[in-house]
Structure 1
Amino acid sequence: MKDRLLSLDAFRGFAIAAMLLVNNPGDWGNVYAPLLHAKWNGWTFTDWVFPFFVFISGMAMTISLARRAQAGADKGLLLLSISRRALVIIGIGLLLNLIPSFNFETVRIPGVLQRLGLCTLLAAPIVIWCGARGVALWAVGLMAVYSVVQLCLPVPDADGIVHVGLLEPGKDAGAWLDRLLLDGHLWRQAKTWDPEGLLSTLPAVASQLLGVLAGYVLASQRQPAEKTMTWVLAGLASLWLGQVLDAWLMPINKSLWTPSYVFAMAGWACLVFAVFYWLLDAAPQPLARARWARLLHPLVVFGMNALFLFALSGLVAKMLYTVKFADGSTLGRVLYAPLRDSGLTPANASLLHALLFVLVMYAIAWLMYRKHWFVKV
């Protein structure tokens, strides 16, 4: 415990708490705009969450690999270990998608955990066998390949009309590839495309590799103040590059995971992590660090079991709307009814439901923390 980096756990905890908040409103028809994904182009607070997870995974991968490399681990065995972990994460994601019907003919194959696991699977050999320069080149190369395919490959949409470089829902090259390989197993709200589709995994891997580069700074022998300033400057530069690419290449778009989105979200991730790092691990005043550690302790608690809490929250959310009573009402509707009828505005009632869901998950996280139950994959 004493060797853990509080800032990384707090950053991870911030991401999981935010994901629990945005994923569990009481009523999807009454949600404040920042707690919804952008309808297509652009971004909101909600669009921070998933790329932050991917970025954090890259940072953690750097630290983990550095520790094992120092212990003399064989690179082949190291790759095998990371690959096994990635496949387990993918398997958990598929299992959550199968619940409750276990209908293999229509199950959605892509998903959040599937993407996280696939990114780790693809990034691992790059990180193991390439240095920082190689990692950076791979990140740029993956985004370049993605951009060429998206902008230059003629593809038919769901109606058979051929387009080139049309970045609209269900009409881009990634949607065509998803229909070609995963037809019938895509996001049910769209059916003709998936926000965690195959092609957009390439720039998502680039997001993870940018996290790896940030992890190299963390693992370096630089002074804490220098590390913090490096992330701040890198974050600002990445935000600027994201805006340039938004104007000249492809718009910032989470569903397509465009290169502009990669750089914009990596920029924010660097800045947010720099704040956590300075407050919890780098500030020169020990008393100030101790005060911030107490204040941000709930985020650290969340971060210690982030993957488990995400999987558990997904399972609980499914059960809330699949467990039904004799009159046909679901458990979720019954539990939400007192908030809905409390006199609060619909949006505030919905938000309160999400906050209570986060508190329930925190209670579980706190109990696990107190018992020293840390679930590792």
Structure 2
Amino acid sequence: MDTINFSVIQEQWQRFEQKLFFGSSVPERTNGSEGVKKSRRLLSIDALRGFDMLLISGGALFIRLMEGKTEWGWIDWLAVQMTHPAWHGFTFYDFIFPLFLFIAGVSLPFSLNKGLSVGMSKSMLYRKGFRRMLILIGLGILYKNAPVSIFEPSQIRYVSVLGRIGIAVFITMILYLNFSRRSRLIWVGSILLLYYAALFLIPVPGYGAGDLSFEGNLVGWIDRQLLPGRLLQDTYDELGLITQFPALCLTMLGSFAGDILRSGRNEMKKLQLLFLAGVGCLGIGLLWSTHFPINKHLWSSSFILLTGGMAFLFMFAFYGIIDVLKYRKWAFFFQVIGLNSLTIYLGYRFIDFGQTSRLLFGGVYSIFPEPWHEVFQAFGAMMLVWLLLYFLYRKKIFVKV
């Protein structure tokens, strides 16, 4: 009679949890006689996540502080790209959060299919996904409100970046496990079209239908009526209730990219599909923007397709360079960040890296003109962040929920 090797089962479970709540595929043990571990992890996914998190955790600030301090026009242009437009319009900084939602979707097909392959039921996956969503919502409330006014709930902002990620991943997981690829594509198209129709056809009291101004749009009116607590802009919150629907489409689009990457197709075919998907989404988004303006605050359907297309193209570039052409050494810098994205997102909120940078390096950069001090301080803070993450990487400490 065969015996059950509980240690192997435990190891498989731990690997699955790491994949489900942390990233893409992870190193797996082969069935060969030597028992050698062979990595199936796609470095490009971690590196792209790290690139995204670098901009969130100090990179964008460093670039913004460079504005006006050199005679190079391209640096000033790049600095402007690291700010959000007041309302309609688009800059590269608008792409940062959508890219993270997309990458979260890329990882899902790897983790979910692995879970199913080791015998996990859908109900088990649902429970873990639901728990993860609740934890992220809670962490998001803490991040946005610390110190939290627990005795004044009306002053708490309940929506957050982390909460949006948790909800988007959970809903995408449900759709992924129950609908075909074609059906999920119909879901994406339907959500974006219905959102478009709602904003143009449902009248807002005092403003009418189709008003996309800050004061008169349907999104803000619904938030004022239904969303408890504090709104980011008093009468409006860009992470509010109904913008969750178009936003989750980015995670669903990411799951299509994940399907492409984990498929049995050859590498050139995968690159071709990623590129065509990117160009297709980009083109439709730009065409749609002629009537439904690109607007991050509204998460307009044109904005979703524009950033979704860009995300496909960035995935195409990172996968092609890192995992196909095997130019990997440069990606290590980003990989270290991408492997502990939650750590640095929360750490940057609760640890004053800027002050630490000033204390450690202020005496070094004091010889430079004073306007440059904030630039060097920001650069030092960014390097301290990376060194912390590198220490965690060397110690194999990866924080996940």
1:227 matched to which residue of 2? 270
In structure 1, the residue matched to 2:23 is: none
Paired position in structure 2 for 1:7: 44
Q: State the 1:166 CA deviation.
A: 1.1
Of residues 103-112 and 169-178 in structure 1, the stretch that sits farther from structure 2 once superposed is 103-112
**Alignment correspondent of 2:123:** 76
The answer for the alignment partner of 2:221 in structure 1 is 176
Q: Which runs of 5+ in 1 are unaligned?
A: 284-288, 321-330
> Quick check: 272-281 or 352-361, which moved more?
352-361
Letter aligned with residue 278 of structure 1: G
1:154 maps to 203
Task: Give the Cα separation in 2 of the matches to 1:100 and 1:145.
Answer: 38
Q: Please give the alpha-carbon distance, in whole angstroms, between the structure 1 residues aligned to 2:294 and 2:303.
A: 5
Find the aligned partners of 1:198 and 1:341 in 2 and give their Cα distance.
50
Q: Of the candidates 116, 125, 134, which is equivalent to residue 87 of structure 1? A: 134
CA offset at residue 170 of structure 1? 3.4
Structure-1 residue corresponding to 2:17: none
Q: Quick one: which of 264, 281, 289 aligns to 2:323?
A: 281
Paired residue total: 350
**After superposition, what is the alpha-carbon deviation per residue over 1:80-121, rounded to whole angstroms, capped at 9, x for unaligned?**
111111211111111112312534330111111111112122
Partner of 2:88: 41
The SS at the match of 1:42 is: coil
1:57 corresponds to which of 97, 100, 104 = 104
User: Any conservation in 2 of the 1:87–1:117 contact (CA below 8 Å)?
Assistant: yes
For residues 265-276 of structure 1, what are the structure 2 equivalents within 5 Å? Answer: 265-276=307-318
- Residue 76 of structure 1 and its aligned partner are, at CA, apart by 1.5
Choose which of 123, 128, 145 in structure 2 pairs with 1:98: 145
Instruction: Find the residue that maps to 2:208 and give its secondary structure.
Output: strand
Aligned to 1:17: 54
The TM-score, its normalising length taken from structure 1, stands at: 0.86
- Aligned pair in 2 of structure 1 residues 69, 223: CA closer, same or farther (>3 Å)? same
2:122 and 2:255 map into 1 onto residues whose CA distance is: 17
Indicate if the aligned counterparts of 1:166 and 1:172 stay in contact, CA closer than 8 A: yes
Q: How has the CA–CA distance of structure 1 residues 313 and 23 changed in structure 2, closer, same or farther, with 3 Å as cutoff?
A: farther
Quote the Cα distance in structure 2 between the aligned partners of 1:224 and 1:108.
45
Q: Which residue of 2 aligns with 1:327?
A: none
2:144 is equivalent to residue 114 of structure 1: no
Q: Let me know the Cα RMSD of the aligned residues.
A: 2.6
Q: Is the 8 A contact 2:149 2:155 kept in 1?
A: no
Query: Unmatched 5+ residue regions in structure 2?
Result: 1-26, 28-38, 68-75
Change in Cα spacing, 1:367 to 1:73, as seen in structure 2 (3 Å) is: same
| C-alpha contact (below 8 Å) 1:26/1:350 kept by paired residues | no
Aligned residue number for residue 306 of structure 1: 341
Alignment of 1:133-148 (within 5 A): 133-148=182-197
Aligned equivalents of 1:275, 1:313: Cα separation in 2: 28
Identity of aligned pairs, percent?
28
**SS of the counterpart of 2:344?**
helix
Note closer, same or farther for the CA distance 1:178–1:192 as it changes in structure 2 (3 Å cut): same
Q: 1:170 to 1:62 in 2, by over 3 A?
A: farther
Secondary structure at 1:314's aligned position in 2? helix
Distance 1:224 1:144 in 2: 33
Bigger RCO (CA 8 Å, 6+ sep): 1
- Looking at structure 1, the residues matched to 107 and 378 of structure 2 have their Cα atoms a distance apart, in angstroms, of 28
* 1:343 alignment counterpart: 369
Cα distance in structure 1, aligned partners of 2:133 and 2:366: 40
- The aligned amino acid for 1:89 is L
